[in-house]
């Protein structure tokens, strides 16, 4: 039997479970241990797994072949791919990175980081159309106030978006501010306002709660997340799905940053003509106050 290369890690575990009854005692012992410790498959060497399962390394090779794989490496690859693509938990991915370091495969990690990062940006932008961006930009430009919400890793994204907007517009701010709760910042928000909310799996409860409260108050929601089913996107007026795949254990926000920069470009393009004058004045003032380092004439 040849196993289809399209099988993912959960499907392989199901296959392994179904094959248990046909296995010899030693193969059964190895397979049972793997089924009980699936997170170890991607991060441990074959020798480490054999020792933990109390079998010989060749037993794992024979087990993989009994399931239709050419060898143990082919059996293990979908589990490593699961980590590279960010579908496993943080602890598994962290351990996998450490295993790469022990085996001297940081060059492969670098290549994975580069290719995944570029693919995330390309996929995110190619899956987002100009009309959707313009509709969100229209909402931002026409709002009385725009609240940009991101916590944890996404706080920097929210702050950067509002920082750029503040050079040209007076109605954008990032929340929560120091010492405040996001939900309190929205206490007087209504249908004249917009909330741009950012969160990725595992979704932050304070962001989801703030979005739910804002919806009840009539606030227009622009959601940015990693799934169309995310609570900040489902049911919102505007939603953007970004790719966050990564070979490391932190969620990648590179594509989210690229999308927000693109949205900001649409906001500036959509705003009144005086916005350009505002940006020019902002930078001229900074030069005059010596905020920017003055380069010596050559």
Question: Mind listing the pLDDT tens digit for each residue in 6-42?
Answer: 788 888 888 888 888 889 999 999 998 998 888 788 8
Per-residue b/e over 233-242, b at no fewer than 16 CB within 10 Å? Answer: beebebbbbb
Residue 247: pLDDT over 50: yes
> Where do the domains of the chain lie, and which CATH numbers do they carry?
9-88 (1.10.10.10), 120-288 (3.40.50.10490)
pLDDT at 146: 96
Helix 90-102 and helix 106-126: axis angle, to 10°? 140
H helices present in the chain, as ranges = 9-19, 25-36, 46-53, 57-66, 72-84, 90-102, 106-126, 130-142, 155-166, 182-185, 205-216, 254-270, 274-288
pLDDT at 91: 65
Parallel, antiparallel, or unpaired: how do β-strands 172-175 and 220-225 relate? unpaired
Residue 297: pLDDT over 60: no
Residue with token string 């979704």: 203
pLDDT at 248: 79
Query: Is the peptide bond between 63 and the residue preceding it cis, with omega within 30 degrees of 0?
Result: no
pLDDT tier for residue 90 given thresholds of 50, 70 and 90: low
Residue 94: pLDDT over 90: no
pLDDT tier for residue 230 given thresholds of 50, 70 and 90: very high
User: Of residues 67 and 179, which shows the higher confidence score?
Assistant: 67
Residue 87: pLDDT over 80: no
pLDDT tier for residue 296 given thresholds of 50, 70 and 90: low
The whole-chain average pLDDT of the chain stands at 86
Question: Mind listing the pLDDT tens digit for each residue in 135-179?
Answer: 999 999 999 999 999 999 999 999 999 988 887 788 899 999 877
Residue with token string 């580069």: 114
């Amino acid at each position: 039997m040849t196993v289809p290369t399209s099988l993912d890690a959960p499907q392989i575990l199901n296959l392994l479970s179904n094959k248990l009854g046909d296995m010899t005692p030693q193969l059964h012992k190895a397979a049972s241990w793997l089924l009980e410790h699936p997170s170890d498959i991607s991060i441990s060497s074959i020798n480490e797994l054999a020792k933990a399962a109390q079998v010989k390394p060749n037993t794992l090779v024979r087990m993989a072949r009994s399931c239709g794989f050419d060898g143990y490496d082919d059996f293990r690859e979908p589990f490593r791919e699961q980590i590279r693509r960010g579908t496993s938990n943080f602890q598994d991915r962290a351990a996998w990175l450490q295993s790469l370091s022990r085996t001297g495969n940081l060059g492969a990690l670098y290549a994975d980081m580069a290719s995944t990062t570029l693919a995330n940006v390309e996929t995110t932008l190619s899956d987002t159309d100009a009309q959707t961006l313009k509709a969100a930009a229209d909402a931002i430009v026409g709002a009385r106030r725009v609240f940009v919400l991101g916590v944890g890793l996404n706080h920097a994204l929210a702050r950067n978006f509002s920082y750029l907007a503040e050079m040209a517009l007076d109605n954008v701010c990032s929340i929560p501010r120091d010492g405040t709760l996001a939900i309190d910042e929205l206490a007087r928000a209504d249908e004249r306002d917009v909330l741009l909310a950012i969160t990725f799996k595992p979704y932050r409860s304070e962001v989801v709660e703030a979005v739910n409260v804002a919806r009840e108050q009539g606030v227009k929601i622009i959601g940015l997340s990693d799934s169309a089913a995310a609570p900040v996107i489902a049911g919102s007026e505007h939603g953007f799905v970004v790719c966050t795949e990564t070979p490391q254990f932190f969620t990648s926000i590179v594509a989210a940053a690229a999308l927000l920069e693109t949205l900001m470009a649409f906001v500036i393009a959509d705003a009144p003509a005086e916005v350009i004058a505002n940006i020019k004045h902002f930078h001229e003032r900074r030069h005059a106050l010596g905020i920017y380092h003055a380069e010596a004439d050559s």
